[in-house]
């Protein structure tokens, strides 16, 4: 069986789906690994490293898509890549079917069996495959570094000959994987950190990282299946906005990470709340790709509103391509262990991992 790894074609995407060490493990297991020339170059993995690991480097994407039985990608395939797919092959990437409807239709028309790792069930057996969590870890870390560079202040308290400088006050909204990593990173840099989440269950995790947990009695269950936050009632959300506004006005840096699977990100910081913030304060909105947690965020841009700098960074994991690719490759290798048995593609749709992640199969769209 041949596993193919094309070079990513989306603008500014620097990750690669397989790193040489993981490619080497697959090759030793008896699989043939085809890697497009320079596929890992942007992530600092050169062609020679893949060859040394036992992979075969090919010159064009057509060779990868035309010869492979399973193609591994980070981003969803472009129309051109879908046309290159040999009918009947399997493809693994990360995408939301509702946001990539044209690509899904094209994959079905080409008889491609497509899997999206964005749809992995939240079960213990799937933890090693959880690309959303691994890439969220990267995003949470990098968000704090962006804030440290853009902010006009130090993060730690400094005692100098010129006097003592107070530490930065950082507020993190959302205590999922990216939020917890943001908290940990800000604490490592010496900031005073507080965090808010509608799920009371995360309080202990926040406090274990040395941050203060801001509690709001919401009077309703805020956690959906799999541990994700769910949409709140209109009245509760109004109270939530007022509560958050009270705290962002005192923050030097706010990092927002709140998301609801399959829905627009909730607005947590209104324009009025931004107007009440201190001049020189900073917001890094990690939810910008699903609409943003701040009402004034603009995707891919840095804007200043009422003296507050608002960053809307896109695809942050790609800005740390070496380690983001390593984590992704390990996730996807774990997924392949469920998909490939004894060198053969085994599609057991009674297995919830296979069933939940399969988007197209046998010419049909399985995830409307």
- From the list 67, 78, 111, 133, the catalytic residue is 133
DSSP string, 166-178: PPPEEEEE--SHH
50 is catalytic: no
133 is catalytic: yes
Structure token pair of residue 139? 């995003």
- From the list 25, 37, 51, 122, the catalytic residue is 122
- From the list 50, 75, 130, 326, the catalytic residue is 130
* Contact assessment for residue 336 and residue 330, using Cβ atoms and an 8 Å cutoff: no
* Contact assessment for residue 205 and residue 182, using Cβ atoms and an 8 Å cutoff: no
135 is catalytic: no
* Contact assessment for residue 292 and residue 213, using Cβ atoms and an 8 Å cutoff: no
Give the three-class secondary structure for 311. Answer: strand
Strand partners, 194: 171, 212
- From the list 78, 153, 188, 228, the catalytic residue is 228
R_g over Cα of the chain: 22
338 is catalytic: no
Distance CA 358, CA 235 (A): 37
* Contact assessment for residue 40 and residue 16, using Cβ atoms and an 8 Å cutoff: yes
79 is catalytic: no
* Contact assessment for residue 4 and residue 31, using Cβ atoms and an 8 Å cutoff: no
From the list 207, 42, 227, 27, the residue with the least C-alpha distance to 122 is 227
- From the list 105, 127, 246, 337, the catalytic residue is 127
For 68, list phi and psi in degrees, rounded to 5. Answer: -85, 150
Distance CA 314, CA 204 (A): 30
DSSP string, 304-353: EETTEEEE----GGGGSHHHHHHHHHHHHHHHHHHHEETTEE---TTSHH
Distance CA 198, CA 43 (A): 36
Distance CA 294, CA 313 (A): 13
Active-site residue set: 122, 127, 130, 133, 228
């Amino acid at each position: 069986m041949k596993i193919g790894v094309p070079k990513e074609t989306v603008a500014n995407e620097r990750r690669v789906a397989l790193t040489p060490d993981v490619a080497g493990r697959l090759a030793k297991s008896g699989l043939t690994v085809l890697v497009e020339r320079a596929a890992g170059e942007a992530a600092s993995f050169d062609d020679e490293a893949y060859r040394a690991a036992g992979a075969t480097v090919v010159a064009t994407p057509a060779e990868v898509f035309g010869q492979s039985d399973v193609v591994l990608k980070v981003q969803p395939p472009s129309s051109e890549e879908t046309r290159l797919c040999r009918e009947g092959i399997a493809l693994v990437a990360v995408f939301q079917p509702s946001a990539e409807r044209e690509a899904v239709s094209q994959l079905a028309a080409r008889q491609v069996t497509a899997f999206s790792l964005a749809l992995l069930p939240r079960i213990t057996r799937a933890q090693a495959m959880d690309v959303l969590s691994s890439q969220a870890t990267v995003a949470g870390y990098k968000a704090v570094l962006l804030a440290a560079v853009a902010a006009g202040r130090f993060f730690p308290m400094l005692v100098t000959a010129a006097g003592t400088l107070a530490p930065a006050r950082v507020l993190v909204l959302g205590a999922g994987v990216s939020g917890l990593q943001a908290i940990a990173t800000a604490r490592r840099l010496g900031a005073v950190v507080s965090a808010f989440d509608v799920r009371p269950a995360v309080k202990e995790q926040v406090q274990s990282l040395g941050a203060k947990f801001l509690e709001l009695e919401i009077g309703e269950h805020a956690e959906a299946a799999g541990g994700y936050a769910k949409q709140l009632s209109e009245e509760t959300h109004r109270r939530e906005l007022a509560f958050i506004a009270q705290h962002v006005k005192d923050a030097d840096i706010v990092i927002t990470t709140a998301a609801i699977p399959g829905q627009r990100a909730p607005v947590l910081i209104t324009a009025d709340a931004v107007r009440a913030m201190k001049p020189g304060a900073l917001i890094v909105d990690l939810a910008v790709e699903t609409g943003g947690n701040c009402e004034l965020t603009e995707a891919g841009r840095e804007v200043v509103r009422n003296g507050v700098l608002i960053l809307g960074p896109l695809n942050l994991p790609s800005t740390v391509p070496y380690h983001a690719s390593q984590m992704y490759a390990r996730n996807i290798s774990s997924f392949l262990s469920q998909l490939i048995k004894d060198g053969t593609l085994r599609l057991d749709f009674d297995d919830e991992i296979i069933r939940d992640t399969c988007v197209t199969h046998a010419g049909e769209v399985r995830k409307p």
